[in-house]
Structure 1
Amino acid sequence: MMAATSPVRQLTASCHCKMVQYTLEIPLSELPLPVHICHCSICRYTHGTLCSFHTNLPENLRPEFRGSSTLNKLTAYRHVHAETERLFCSMCGCHVGDRFLDHAGEGSATASDKWVLATALFSEHGEDLFRIKMHCHTQFLIRGAGLHNFLPQVGDEALTISNSKHDDTQPSSKSQDDSIQPETDDAGNEVLRAECHCGGISFTFPRPTPSVRNDAYMSKFVSPKDSNKWLACLCVCGDCRLESGTLVTAWTFVPRALIEPPMPPLLGPYGKILKTFASSPGVLRGFCGTCGATALFVNNDRTPSLEQQVLDIPVGLLRAPEGILAEEWLTWRTGRLANFDDGKKFAPEFAQSLADGFRNWSTDRYGEILGFELY
């Protein structure tokens, strides 16, 4: 007599451009899969986000690529002393997940079949399938500032914080934040650097200048609370989710003319490794072709003229000495999440909990909830 087969649930996942598509056959006994939110500098600077959302696959389970989608459609990134290789779509830059490396023996490490997947790519993210359980590696955050401050719980369940050096959810590492220092330009003006993990994309921008503050259009992106700061927001739209591989992205908005080295209107060529992807009509996204970090966003709606063009810059790449939230440079819109309805449709408990937590954080920290129009 044949042994009874354990019932399974098939899950489907894909990146934004659909060049990477796969399925997972998950035994029902393994559901919901636990999700950890990682705040290490490697995740932040390879994704261009404040954190990553990953699940460790059960042993002997791996993604099954569909149709023409294969591992060859992914770019693998390995940094010095890496314990995993990070895989992202070569076309749109979406981070798919990691494979642990086998360092046995001499010579270069080989990829194993132990996978950690980004849960943002799945077509469904209900609590019956994925359960966000904890924040990890918050010890890498300068002054303890990070998205975990906005998300102490999901639904009624408090999230734990795990900072064990040997936590098997993500490899431990020395933080790139350790080397962050204040910077100035040749004239002695303060500038803030945005840089991906591999350093292939690196640029600076200053505080709002008089010409920006006096411009009818560009001044809309200057903080109404402090004219020396830029605006920032959290976005939970599907396009950002499937381009970054995370459930939430953070953006600030800076006129292209202020960026150094100078950046062309259509982003490329810029350096040697910036790649671009048109995620929708009139929208161009830039990402690092080496480490996969989301780097830039250009929208025709924010280009009244080339001189006034405003670019979206991911806060996850900013190297602010005060921490990843860059509060000395940015005023956060805490009253609402950008594209909240889209995010709530995909992951309802997460989106609502983040929106509530963001407002609570703002009230506790600043004594008010900040709501203003961005575009």
Structure 2
Amino acid sequence: MTGPLRPAFHEGQVLAAADLSATVEYARAGAARHARHLHEWGIVEGLGLVTQPRTDPLTGIRHVEVSVSAGIAVDGTGREVVVTEPVVLRESDFEEVNGADQSTDEPYPVFLTAADREPAGPAGPVSCSVSATKTRVEESYQILFGRLGDERLAAEQQPPAIGDPPADPPLRWLILLGYVHWAEGHFSGVETAARGVAARYAGVRADTVSARSGALTLRTGTETKEGQPALVLTGGETPNLVFGLYQGGGAVAPLMTVAANGNLTIEGSFGGRMSAGSTLVASGTATDGMLLPLPSGVTPEQVADGRVVIHVQLTPRIPPLAESALFSPVETTVDADRRVRCRVRVYNPSVNWKQPVEQPGAVDFLVLATVAATNGGG
């Protein structure tokens, strides 16, 4: 096996076409290996499916015109695919592939792939022994419609070997751009994902990402938008890690901050799995027959299987009484389902001097959820 061959030249050398082609191919292969192995293939910029409302002049049916916006993608072989201007999708091309299908609400996949073409324009120079030939190759593209389910083909494609150059046609690498809906002989809408498969965007493979400014920001969009999340890692004299939301001016309002000393500051409530030795509390007022709530973060399943132990304290509430009335609790209990039983006896001689009245009551409750500490205390 040999490694990549780099063309070398010397004074007086007669350069053949193969020598000059090798120079170009060496650079192309290097760029392709970089794109293929340091990045994830997919859409780099643009290439969205854009709709414009239309009306069929013959039938009056309202539909949409679908176009692919200008943009760039890199396929799985490392080849760059450039669409320099918007391209309107032709309904005739769709019908050629899927026209025989019965009507369905399922969307059909749209793919982009690389294509080589002879550029328009005059041929190259003519020599004494060779007829006029083209001296340029247009690295173009082709937009294809797939059948239902063909989106799976994109995920099943296998990249070329480590040292291979970018793939040239007729080898075809499919880049999924999205999906179109079809109804009554026209496009009716678009989707970015269907049947669990979404349009794929380019990424990066890296074990280390460094920032020259001293702050590294991770966000979910190419532009800052108010209300969108961001993760900001800063260094310098006060290093910290901040998760928050963008404000109108582009600053990040912290929701969670981890300081250099390990201190954690959060703006909202904290929930999740209880650690060993921890205790969660819920409190309030309940009336007879009510179910007591579990502390936030505790599930009935955790209580049922013994991972969390519940402790309940009940205190009868004294209702507003007349000055001469007497109050005494009869029953203040809670069953295994955390249902409160509270009965009270009230004697008010101004209302019924013969005997007291028994009635439902209310309690103040305190529910403690605990997890036993391990032998090591952790």
**Which category of TM-score, normalised to the shorter sequence, fits these structures?**
under 0.3
Of structures 1 and 2, the one with the larger relative CO (CA 8 A, separation 6+) is 1
TM-score (norm 2): 0.23
> Greater helix share, 1 or 2?
1
More strand by share: 2
Structure of higher CA gyration radius: 2
